[in-house]
Structure 1
């Protein structure tokens, strides 16, 4: 008896996204290690936490594929790429990576709608919201770095940012959650 509830296209897309989440975890690990090496322990801690979050996303895809009766395909992941040149460059790369990830998530949304796979469409909605949060968080950090001087930020401003990121929550306030009372 066939128990697979995913089409070959959707199974492939979900497996590809699982691999992409693993790749994003490696990117965050690489940047966290770079930040630690530069003495930015707060930034490093923030990025290590996000590496773990990306691994959790990978596991969500893996579990979903299994629970829908399809085959999980573990593929190799690309190297994370070169180290950032600065804190500004680091978070520009983080933002770029998140935008690319959002594009891939949206492609799965489109595919699930085209195939009328409502279970996958429902599953992927969590990631749509998560990507909105990730992009917002990265943009908020880029704004802070811009105020601190961007690529030319001075050590005292970077020190302040580093201290702040040590305790920064891992999620951002989304536009849909804002009210007049709670902007």
Structure 2
């Protein structure tokens, strides 16, 4: 008896997204190692935490595929892109990567809508919300660096930014949770 509740195209798309999340984990891991080598332990800590978060995203998709009775396909992931040339460039690359991942998530959501796979559509809403948070976090960090001088950030500003990154919250207040009393 076939218990698979996913179409072949949705199964393939979910496996592709799972691999994309694994690749994202490797990118954050690579950038974290690069930052640590440059002496930026706080930034490295932030990036290493995000590497683990991306791996957790991969596992969410893996578990969903299994729970829907479909087959998980673990594929090779590409090597991370070249190391950043600066801390500012690192977070520009992080932002660009998150935007790319958002596009992939939206594509999967549209596919589930087109196929009327409401379970997958519902499952993917968590990723839609997560990507808004990821993009917002990256934009906020780029804004902080811009205020501190961007590529021309002073040593003192860079030191403070690195120190702050070690303990910065990985969470961003969602737009739907904002009120005039709690902006």
Are residue 37 (structure 1) and residue 26 (structure 2) matched? no
**Count of residue pairs brought into register by the alignment:** 183
Separation (CA, whole Å) in 2 of partners of 1:87 and 1:148: 12
Q: Which residue of 1 aligns with 2:122?
A: 122
CA distance in 2, matches of 1:157, 1:57: 33
Partner of 1:56: 56
> Structure 1: 5+ residue runs without aligned partners?
none
**Once the 2 structures are TM-superposed, how far is the Cα of residue 5 of structure 1 from its aligned partner?**
0.4
Q: Please list every run of at least 4 consecutive aligned residues from structure 1 whose deviation after the TM superposition is greater than 6 angstroms.
A: none
Name the TM-score, length of structure 2 as normaliser: 0.99
Q: SS in structure 2 opposite 1:98?
A: helix
Q: What is the match of residue 137 of structure 1? A: 137
Write the distance in 2 (CA, Å) between the matches of 1:152 and 1:19.
36
Other-structure match for 2:9: 9
Moved more, 98-107 or 143-152: 143-152
Q: Is the 8 A contact 1:136 1:174 kept in 2?
A: no
SS in 1 for 2:76: coil
| Partner residue in 2 for 1:20 | 20
User: For the residues of structure 1 that align with 2:155 and 2:174, how far apart are their CA atoms?
Assistant: 30
RMSD: 0.6
Structure 2 regions of 5+ residues with no counterpart? none
Question: Given the two structures, how large is their TM-score scaled by the length of structure 1?
Answer: 0.99
